[in-house]
Amino acid sequence: MSHFAIIGGGAWGTALGCLYARAGHAPRILARDAGTVAAINESRRNPRYLPDTMLPAGLTATSDPAKALAGARTVLFVVPAQSLRTVAAELAPHIAGDGLAILCSKGIECETGRFATDVLAEVLPGRPRAVLSGPSFAADVARGLPTAVTIAAETEESADAAARLLSTDTFRGYATADMRGVEAGGALKNVLALAAGAVAGRGLGASAQAAIVTRGFVELRRLGAALGGRPDTLMGLSGLGDLVLTCSSAQSRNFAYGMALGRGDDRAGLKLAEGVFTAEIAARLAQEHGIDAPIIATVAAILAGQLDIDAAIEALLARPLKRETV
């Protein structure tokens, strides 16, 4: 068993910590918040981010990067995508030259339009990289419920090895060498979950919900492929799978954020919704690649305050009729 360092003591980092503690990997969480570190070590709880889970004994936390990363051959990055560059750059001196950097966050860097694995390549040159993405709510994984995800790495052989390393009795990793497809699926589904949540929050009905998810999936596949993902990857767990999960449950923070948008509720204080940060850059990338992505563009315009929900729905319905292309 190898020692895993988990960068980020939020819901997902803690859930992965539970998973790998039960599998015997002695995971150590690096969390910036001293209260979270103390609660994990002393009370076996993470009250702020994963309040309902009793954490297994093998999971420890620290706010000291050197301690978290000492002897770690496997480093899971689980901070919000917009913080990844800063966090990984700060930790670079502590990460072994051959340490495997595994991206577990879902997003695209707003400022640069760079995918998160490219950010890791820039700030951690030479380290092997992998991506873990797919339908997996932190609360489910923390409870040990059955979960399947996609594990991507640079070659098929390294993806197979990473999938073996990251799979457990309850957590099944399917391997692929298509890192771009896997991270595109994970990032773009968040934007579409906002749209699905907004439709639900506005009370537009189950038929509209199905329409937005289906046409949203067309956009995810088109844009994901234009950005370099393989079409079949986007049909898999990290595309369709995660879209289905997050567009159908208020357990998804992106869906919940969309519901608040649709209802016109105050959104201050809501939990992290990565789609809010990804929407504008996704819309811009679609435009740059000549991809028709009206739902993604609409979400970006609503978030930017350029369009209200009712005008957005009217505009989507008023688009010229066309043949169905999928």
Ligand X SMILES: O=C(CO)COP(=O)(O)O
- When CB distances are held under 5 to 8 angstroms depending on the partner's kind, the choice from ligand NAI, ligand X, none that residue 183 binds is none
Of these residues, 25, 94, 129, 189, which one is catalytic?
A: 189
The β-bridge partners of 129 are: 101
Which of 14, 46, 117, 254 lies at the binding interface for ligand X (CB under 6 A)? 254
78 phi, psi to nearest 5 deg: -135, 40
Tell me which stretch binds ligand X (CB under 6 A): 90-98, 167-175, 248-256, 297-305: 248-256
* Angstrom distance (rounded) from CA 137 to CA 244: 12
Q: Is 246 an interacting residue with respect to ligand X (CB under 6 A)?
A: yes
Q: Tell me the residue length of the chain.
A: 326
Which three-class secondary structure state does DSSP give residue 151?
Answer: strand
Q: Supply the minimum distance, in Å, between the C-beta of residue 79 and ligand NAI.
A: 4
Sequence-ordered list of residues with C-beta below 8 angstroms from that of 176, at least 6 positions apart, any chain: 150, 151, 152, 156, 159, 182, 233, 236
Residue 67 designated active-site: no
The interface partner of residue 83, options being ligand X, ligand NAI, none and the CB cut-off 5 to 8 Å by kind, is ligand NAI
**The one among 242, 282, 291, 300 contacting ligand X by CB under 6 A:** 242
Applying CB under 6 A, which part among 56-64, 70-78, 216-224, 239-247 lies near ligand X?
239-247
Residue from the set 22, 28, 94, 106 that interacts with ligand X by CB under 6 A: 106
What does each C-alpha distance from 34 to 26, 40, 88 come to in angstroms?
20, 10, 19
Nearer to ligand X, 16 or 124 (CB): 16
CB atoms within 10 A of CB 207: 9
Query: Which of the listed partners (ligand NAI, ligand X, none) does 9 bind, with a CB threshold of 5 to 8 Å by partner kind?
Result: ligand NAI
Query: Known binder of ligand: residue 32?
Result: yes
Q: Which does 108 bind (CB under 5 to 8 A by kind): ligand X, ligand NAI, none?
A: none
Strand partners, 132: 151
Complete DSSP assignment for 195-211? HHHHHHHTT--HHHHHH
Q: Say what angle helices 309-317 and 294-303 make with each other, to 10 degrees.
A: 160
- State which of positions 260-289 bind ligand X (CB under 6 A): 274
- Residues 152-211 binding ligand X (CB under 6 A) are 190, 193
Smallest separation, CB 267 to ligand X (Å) = 14
135 forms part of the interface with ligand X (CB under 6 A): yes
Mode of pairing for the β-strands spanning 147-153 and 129-133: antiparallel
Strands (E), the chain: 4-7, 28-30, 60-62, 74-77, 100-103, 129-133, 147-153, 171-176
Stretch that binds ligand X, among 68-76, 111-119, 160-168, 240-248 (CB under 6 A): 240-248
Q: Where does this chain bind ligand X (CB under 6 A)?
A: 106, 135-137, 190, 193, 242, 245-246, 252-254, 274
Binding residues for substrate: 106, 253-254
Catalytic residues: 189
